[in-house]
Structure 1
Amino acid sequence: MANSALDFSAFSPSALSAEETQLIEASVAQFGAPLLLLDCDVVRQQYRALAAALPNVTLHFALKPLPHEAVVRTLLAEGASFDLATSGEVDLVASQGVPADKTIHTHPIKRDSDIRDALAYGCTVFVVDNLNELEKFIPYKDEVELLVRLSFRNAEAFADLSKKFGCSPELAITIITKAKQLGIRIKGLSFHVGSQTSSPQKYVDAILACKIVMEQVVALGLPALSTLDIGGGFPVSYAKQVTPIDEFCAPINTALASLPETVQVLAEPGRFIVAPAVMSVVSVMGQAEREGKIWYYLDDGIYGSFSGLMFDEANYPIVTVNQDTLCYPSVLAGPTCDSIDVVAEHIMLPKLTNGDLIVARMMGAYTSATATDFNFFKRAQTVILNEVCIAEQKLG
């Protein structure tokens, strides 16, 4: 891990600017390649944009897409809360001084040790989506508050997270009723409409369905629910533009306004906060001509920072430091000895030489987090930019 005071937060998403090229070349000269350039100022901008778009929602950053200490510190300074799913994530936020009352634990399926680790830290809000999971909390019923996660399928999402987790409204009522019998407090409901959701209507439909469940709970004489967690999934632009976040959230806010004023609303943004905050910088290790295309072999690939191409279906915008306008059919391959390690098979690139640099944008989510050391190629080093806010630097 390294630090730099250089900034790329204002760069365009297309060709590299002179300042951007200077940053990239200076970073490679100092640290070598491959690199991941993590700009904390972009993290701030994304958090503030979503907070403004959802003004009455408490944002719990989901650590999963980029569990990095600098991200945690930056968001904690912004007043963010955090969404945890594992004991390792508990350890991370604890090590960075995050107060436990600013966290929730949202993995629907937990080992007893996971529950105990979170409680030892001080996190007391957990998620369940079945009766088996509910019963795990009997020994801790005086310490915990639970959210019941509902399932709302979404075939349009990058990852339909309701395929694996969540229950029907009918089962939610059963769980809440059983919890009352067991003396376990149900705090509210939660859902996740899926990663990189393209339509806000998915949230609207889920919010209104949860409202009906909340009304049914009251009608049955069960304790009223005080919390709704609307999950994450807010979209960002990769190869194509998505709806601006303020427009995207407008119908969500309208739906939330229909809930009782006593209901506290939470969200679990992950990708939206960190995806635009990281650029990948790789270098050409070698090249060969195969079937009319030039193959460029890079020092990072599918088993490393570009793991999202396999697990996440993201389409990262790729540019070259060499900005010649004459381009040729090319292939970008990763460094390992596995034939599936190909970053891009159909891409037009200028003629490159060994050592030339290639940049991929939007590399903050599900990249370094899912990278491996396969074939003993080391993972890309992360260079932290602007951990101290630029505005604070200017004031100083």
Structure 2
Amino acid sequence: MIRSIENTSAVQLDTRASETDMIHRLVAQHDSPLMILDCDVVRRQYRALQAALPNVVLHFALKPMPHPAVVSTLLQEGAYFDLATNGEVDLVKSVGVPADRTIQTHPIKRDSDIRHALDYGCNTFVVDNLNELEKFIAHKDQAELLVRLSFRNADAYADLSKKFGCSSEQAFEIISRAFELGIRIRGLSFHVGSQTMDPQKYVSAIASCAKLIQQVADAGLPALSTLDIGGGFPVDYDGSLQPIDEFCAPIREVMTTLPDTLKVIAEPGRFIVAPAAINVCSVMGQAQRDGKTWYYMDDGIYGSFSGNVFDHGNYPMDAIKWHGERYPSVLAGPTCDSIDVIAEEIMLPKLNNGDMVVSRMMGAYSTVTATDFNFFKRAEVVAINQVIEQLAVAGL
């Protein structure tokens, strides 16, 4: 998606000029490639989703961008956190997140993973099968569990219910067996899939969970107190999505049918961080091939643009020198692998070696899946607008 000068207002021009100055300063200080993380956008996204789901406790899922600046910013906002690995436990611990603000939601864990989280103080875990349930016999005095259900969603970026989750019948069996073993079941969880575009997926899953919660109560088993509706809330990569408040309206409506005693939590990840980072990479060299200019950049598919492979990446990008006539161009990554091509059909102005390209909406599933292939360095993540908020919290 390329914004031309004809479609850009005077205010947007001023904003873009200010951003360009900032980018030049940061690249001069940190070199290219660079990932600029804006903590103000993290705050904005968190507040927007909290307003859209006012009665839901948001647990940020670290997976799409496990960066200390994101964690500390969200901690200041009062967020909770969704962890899945020992490394994520260590990260939130290092930032000072209280353990009672975390849950560990990986459905499959080693005993050492369970003990690592418990040693930190996180005591809520997720299971989706009897084999996993039995791992908690040794920890039943400390841990409590959520049973994860599967709701398939082939339209999502990642249909997470393909790999994890169980049926309602299997969930009831797990809950019954847990009661026999003396293991505490706190509630249910599900994830309808990453970048879910249809809110009715949540509505249907919530309704199914409500029936199971009632079934558990009717069977005389301990009442379930928590429903985790997962993540997957979509972000707008191309300007075509409805605002998040409108998207969540059906979810808010179906939640009014739930018991007042049921605590509802969620695990947003992409929605919080995707718009919060921009990538800056520079032209290393160029060549004319088949009527197009190939620009070889210092970041690529094996780096920050790994989301092109793993996450259906379709990032809005443009040259930082964005004015002037445009020509058919190709953006290629720096490695010697022929698949390392970022964009094959893009119209760009004439670029010189050293000129920069800016890509937006790159906060989710980009740096986390980057590699050091060919020994090209990964883009450094630089957080901005973090100290200002820390001073404001301190009343300075």
Which residue is equivalent to 2:3? none
Gaps of 5+ in 1: 1-10
Which residue is equivalent to 2:340? 341
Gaps of 5+ in 2: 1-9
Equivalents in 2 of 1:56, 1:27: separation in Å? 39
CA displacement, residues 272-315 of structure 1 (integer Å, 9 cap, x when unaligned): 00000100000000001111111000000011011111100020
Equivalents in 2 of 1:38, 1:374: separation in Å? 23
Matches within 5 A, 1:312-331: 312-331=311-330
Compute the displacement of 1:26 (Å). 1.2
DSSP 3-state at the match of 2:162: coil
Name the aligned partner's letter for residue 122 of structure 1. G
DSSP 3-state at the match of 1:375: helix
Compute the displacement of 1:392 (Å). 5.3
TM-score by length of 2: 0.95
CA displacement, residues 168-189 of structure 1 (integer Å, 9 cap, x when unaligned): 0010000000000111010000
Which residue is equivalent to 1:149? 148
Contact 2:305 2:313 in 1 (8 A): no
TM-score by length of 1: 0.95
Equivalents in 1 of 2:190, 2:13: separation in Å? 35
Equivalents in 2 of 1:24, 1:94: separation in Å? 32
Matches within 5 A, 1:176-191: 176-191=175-190
Residue 366 and residue 13 in structure 1: after superposition, are their counterparts in 2 closer, same or farther (change >3 A)?
farther
Which residue is equivalent to 1:264? 263
Matches within 5 A, 1:1-396: 17-389=16-388, 396=396
DSSP 3-state at the match of 1:17: helix
CA displacement, residues 161-216 of structure 1 (integer Å, 9 cap, x when unaligned): 00100000010000000000111010000000000000110000000000000011
Compute the displacement of 1:241 (Å). 2.4
Equivalents in 2 of 1:97, 1:281: separation in Å? 31
Equivalents in 2 of 1:316, 1:89: separation in Å? 26
Name the aligned partner's letter for residue 127 of structure 1. V
Equivalents in 1 of 2:280, 2:137: separation in Å? 50
Residue 46 and residue 211 in structure 1: after superposition, are their counterparts in 2 closer, same or farther (change >3 A)?
same
Which residue is equivalent to 1:5? none
Compute the displacement of 1:355 (Å). 0.3
Which residue is equivalent to 2:4? none
In the alignment of these two chains, the number of paired residues is: 386
Compute the displacement of 1:219 (Å). 1.1
Name the aligned partner's letter for residue 247 of structure 1. E
Superposition CA RMSD, Å: 1.7
